[in-house]
């Protein structure tokens, strides 16, 4: 009888079951990712105000960082963090109302960077919350549709939450704020690096210029102390002191100089022959409120860079008068004036080359007004010297600007023409040139009884990088020959 062997149990391997479980979880993750990604791509974009702009923000699949699209100019990219999502900001349009509020309010304009930062932070927080909610909801809904099991949407939501937390952790761990100073550019913005560098250089040069200029302007008082020992410019009668400025071109240092001279020289009034701004725009006009702080009468005529809005703002300042074929009396001295008939802030138009007839007609208009006065005014103000030609022989003194080069000349019939340089050193634009223009102004001393010019002090401050300050007192008249076309010396209009 043969022996019967007992059956033996064969051991079952655990790997097939684990593989099934692992495969199930991989499928869950893929379903959750797909659902989250579809939901975010379809609905994960928000609109938000960023300063004066209306913008849209979204997180898109990428290798991290942030991109700011500025259509149609191009885009700016910063590798500020790593991760599977990139922050995409697209500037859609400028909101006119918000932009106007910024432009008209110097306080808001000064804080525009802080406002943009706050707006962007608020928008990103809202975008994060929106994206997270959509991703979780999309993952759960996709899981329910595919598996049709009640607990699977909860699992998908949990998986998505873990993935979002991981993404946020990677972004926080790799955050590089220094990358904000090293952006990359595309499209037309590819030249932004050179442009920004140039602008930063100008700003740095101007800050240094204005800092040194404060000391230079202070020296005007010291120089005036020496001048005060000279004999009085007038005869036995009282003297009226007026300050002639022109072509400030929005240079704050020109306003600083003007205020200092008004105080040190005890000026009775300021005569401005135009171009107080560059473009006559409302943001520029905020600096004009300095006119109201001088505390003396301020007589102004528009230059070819000054808009009607600029003139209206000047007129609204305390003690200010804007002449437009009209006259005013300051400290007993009658002054008549007319604005430049042109408004040509963009010099590429070439309007200076074809406007001589217009300028002559403007001078004729002022002459007609002057001839209607009981007595010729002691001073007549124009912006372009060519406007003064028709007045030759009918007025004793014409003040002008525009050429950015100081000249004193006599017309054929004896009328004295005094052309101011640029009290603003031709404005901030001059900082781009190799040889910055000096800041100039002239103090006029007139007889209070007759209004005749007795003497004048020519004040000149060196431009950027120069510390020279000169004051020259001259007795009137100090003349040069005048060109037949009515311009003074070799200077050609550049204003």
Residue 491 resides in a domain = no
Same domain, 361 and 470: yes
Cβ neighbour number for residue 484 with a 10 Å cutoff:
8
Alpha helices in 295-402 (DSSP H): 308-315, 356-371
pLDDT one digit per residue (tens) for the chain, 495 residues = 444 445 444 556 666 777 887 888 888 889 989 988 999 889 989 998 887 788 899 998 888 888 887 765 567 788 888 888 888 988 777 676 766 666 555 555 555 667 777 888 888 899 999 999 999 999 999 988 998 888 888 998 999 999 889 888 888 888 887 666 566 766 545 544 444 444 445 445 555 555 555 555 555 555 555 555 555 565 555 899 999 999 998 887 788 889 888 988 889 999 999 999 877 666 566 678 889 889 999 999 999 888 888 899 999 999 999 999 999 999 999 999 999 998 877 554 444 454 688 999 999 999 999 999 999 999 999 999 999 999 999 999 999 999 989 999 999 898 999 999 998 876 655 555 555 678 899 999 999 999 999 999 998 886 554 556 788 888 876 444 445 444 444 333 334
Provide the domain limits for residue 161. 23-182
Give yes or no for a contact between 179 and 80, defined as CB atoms under 8 angstroms apart.
Answer: yes
Same domain, 327 and 470: yes
Round to whole Å and give the CA distance between 86 and 40.
13
Whole-number pLDDT of residue 109: 53
Round to whole Å and give the CA distance between 419 and 488.
8
Residue 418 resides in a domain = yes
Total-model pTM: 0.57
Give yes or no for a contact between 85 and 61, defined as CB atoms under 8 angstroms apart.
Answer: yes
Whole-number pLDDT of residue 196: 44
Same domain, 176 and 217: no
Residue 415 resides in a domain = yes
Among 182, 216, 239, where does a domain finish?
A: 182
Same domain, 131 and 221: no
Whole-number pLDDT of residue 468: 66
The structure tokens listed for 371 are: 């001839």
Same domain, 131 and 256: no
Cβ neighbour number for residue 489 with a 10 Å cutoff:
16
Residue 6 resides in a domain = no
Same domain, 258 and 283: yes
Structural domains counted in the chain: 2
Same domain, 379 and 409: yes
The structure tokens listed for 298 are: 């301020």
Same domain, 123 and 239: no
The structure tokens listed for 215 are: 């000391």
Same domain, 148 and 285: no
CATH number for the domain harbouring residue 239: 3.60.21.10
Residue 16 resides in a domain = no
Same domain, 358 and 433: yes
Round to whole Å and give the CA distance between 36 and 277.
56
Same domain, 175 and 199: no
Residue 490 resides in a domain = no
Residue 457 resides in a domain = yes
- Distances in Å between the alpha carbon of 474 and those of 239, 443, 486? 15, 10, 23
């Amino acid at each position: 009888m043969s022996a019967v062997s007992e059956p033996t149990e064969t051991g079952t391997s655990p790997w097939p079951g684990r593989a099934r479980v692992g495969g199930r979880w991989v499928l869950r993750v893929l379903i959750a990712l797909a659902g989250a990604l579809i939901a975010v791509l379809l609905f994960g974009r928000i609109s938000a105000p960023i300063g004066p702009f209306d913008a849209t923000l979204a997180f898109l699949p990428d290798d991290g960082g942030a991109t700011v699209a500025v259509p149609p100019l191009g885009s700016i990219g910063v590798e500020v963090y790593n991760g599977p999502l990139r922050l995409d900001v697209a500037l859609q349009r400028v909101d006119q109302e918000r932009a106007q509020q910024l432009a008209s309010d110097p306080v808001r304009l000064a804080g525009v960077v802080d406002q943009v930062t706050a707006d962007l932070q608020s928008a990103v927080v809202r975008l994060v919350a929106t994206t997270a909610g959509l991703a979780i909801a999309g993952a759960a809904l996709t899981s329910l549709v595919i598996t049709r099991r009640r607990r699977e949407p909860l699992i998908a939501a949990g998986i998505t939450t873990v993935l979002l937390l991981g993404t946020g952790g990677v972004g926080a761990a790799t955050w590089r704020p220094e990358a904000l100073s090293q952006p990359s550019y595309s499209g037309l913005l590819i030249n932004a690096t050179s442009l920004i560098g140039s602008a930063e250089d100008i700003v740095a040069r101007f800050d240094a210029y204005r800092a040194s200029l404060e000391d230079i302007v202070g020296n005007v008082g010291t120089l005036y102390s020496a001048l005060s020992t000279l004999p009085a410019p007038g005869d036995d009668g009282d003297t009226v002191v007026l300050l002639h400025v022109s072509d400030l071109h929005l240079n704050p240092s020109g306003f600083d100089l003007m205020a200092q001279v008004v105080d040190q020289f005890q000026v009775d009034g300021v005569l401005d022959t135009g171009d107080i701004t560059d473009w006559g725009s409302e943001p520029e006009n905020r600096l004009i409120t300095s006119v109201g702080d001088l505390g003396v009468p301020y007589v102004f005529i528009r230059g070819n860079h000054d808009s009607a809005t600029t003139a209206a703002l000047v007129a609204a300042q305390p003690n200010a008068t804007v002449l437009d074929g009209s006259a005013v009396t300051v400290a007993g001295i009658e002054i008549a004036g007319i604005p430049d008939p042109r408004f040509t802030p963009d010099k590429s138009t070439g309007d200076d080359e074809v406007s001589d007839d217009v300028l002559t007609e403007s001078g004729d208009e002022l002459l007609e007004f002057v001839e209607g006065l009981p007595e010729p005014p002691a001073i007549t103000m124009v912006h372009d010297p060519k406007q003064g030609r028709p007045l030759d022989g009918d007025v004793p003194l014409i003040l002008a600007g525009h050429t950015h080069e100081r000249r004193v000349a006599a017309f054929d019939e004896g009328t004295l023409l005094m052309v101011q340089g640029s009290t603003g050193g031709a404005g901030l634009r001059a900082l781009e040139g190799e040889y910055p223009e000096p800041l100039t102004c002239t103090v006029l001393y007139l007889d209070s009884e007759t209004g005749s010019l007795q003497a004048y002090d020519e004040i000149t401050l060196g431009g950027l990088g120069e510390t020279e300050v000169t004051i020259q007192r001259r007795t009137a008249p100090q003349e040069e020959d005048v060109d037949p076309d009515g311009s003074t010396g070799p200077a050609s209009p550049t204003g």
